[in-house]
Amino acid sequence: MPRFLTLSAALTAAFLASVSTHILAQEKLPAPVTALKNQGIDIHGQFSAPGGLRGFGASVQGREMAIYLTPDGEHAIVGTLMDSDGNDLTEPQLDEHVRAPLEAQTWALLEESHWIQDGDRDAPRVVYTFTDANCPYCQQLWEAARPWVEAGKVQMRHIMVGILAADSPGKAAAMLGADDPAAALRAHKRGDGIEASAQPRHIEEQVYANNQLFEELGLYATPTSAFQRETDNGSVRIERIEGMPNEERLIEMMGSKTPAE
């Protein structure tokens, strides 16, 4: 049965690790933080902390952590900072300085991947979905999304991968290399099928790059879909759903109830 996963306070380890970005690359880090960085810890951002401490949001092998630099600048402590009432002061900082930047980087990676447009390019809501031509759940999602896509409310961007069967890469390449990829995808989804075929090298490399992205993000199921949502404080975050969403999650992904309703 497909699993449904959400990018929230508990990002998957592989997802975090795959999109690490050095926000502080241009800044000279304090010696203790540099030493941790040299040991393989990624430093993502810094923040103020009580008690004269200086905080850094970090991760290693997908595990989020906070580093606190002591006031003398000579020592670093890795752990959770609590106040006198037992409140966790670290968790909000990790969300702001580790998860949010990584999610923004992830969205950029999705934008730069090789996808096929499905729906109006001016549709206000964008949903990226990893699609394998041999995936029955991908077919179900395509059919379920029609009301929103045809109403011009949502544009699906199918990141074509080849992972489920021996001919999946060839089918993905055939669609990406078609004269009209959107028409080829539409015909396939409507039952005409698609035959795997040799394509120019740059097209086959697009499929390979999409497969790599799929693996680097720690994904395992198609479809896997990603969309943006606005939080109560106005920031934009990413959620993802692995597998075919249930009705409630489908509505959440599409951003509204079925247009006909």
Instruction: State how far the Cα of 118 lies from the Cα of 115, in Å rounded to an integer.
Output: 9
Looking at residue 13, what is its pLDDT?
Answer: 42
Please tell me the predicted confidence (pLDDT) of residue 16: 44
Rounded Cα distance, 153 and 242, in Å:
22
Determine the pLDDT at residue 160.
Answer: 98
Cβ pair 102, 17 in contact under 8 A: no
Amino acid identity of residue 194, one-letter, is: I
First-to-final CA distance of the chain: 28
To the question of domain 113-254 being in CATH 3.40.120.10, the answer is no
For residue 237, the model assigns a pLDDT of 85
Residue ranges of the chain whose pLDDT lies below 50: 1-26
pLDDT at 19: 42
Portions of the chain given CATH number 3.10.450.70: 20-98
Quick one: pLDDT at residue 217?
A: 87
CATH 3.40.30.10 in the chain, residue ranges: 113-254
Q: Which pLDDT score is estimated for 11? A: 40
What pLDDT sits at residue 104? Answer: 85
- Strand residue runs (E) in 70-218: 76-78, 115-118, 125-132, 154-161
Residue 28: the pLDDT is 84
CATH of 20-98, one of 3.40.50.1110, 3.30.70.260, 3.10.450.70, 3.40.50.300: 3.10.450.70
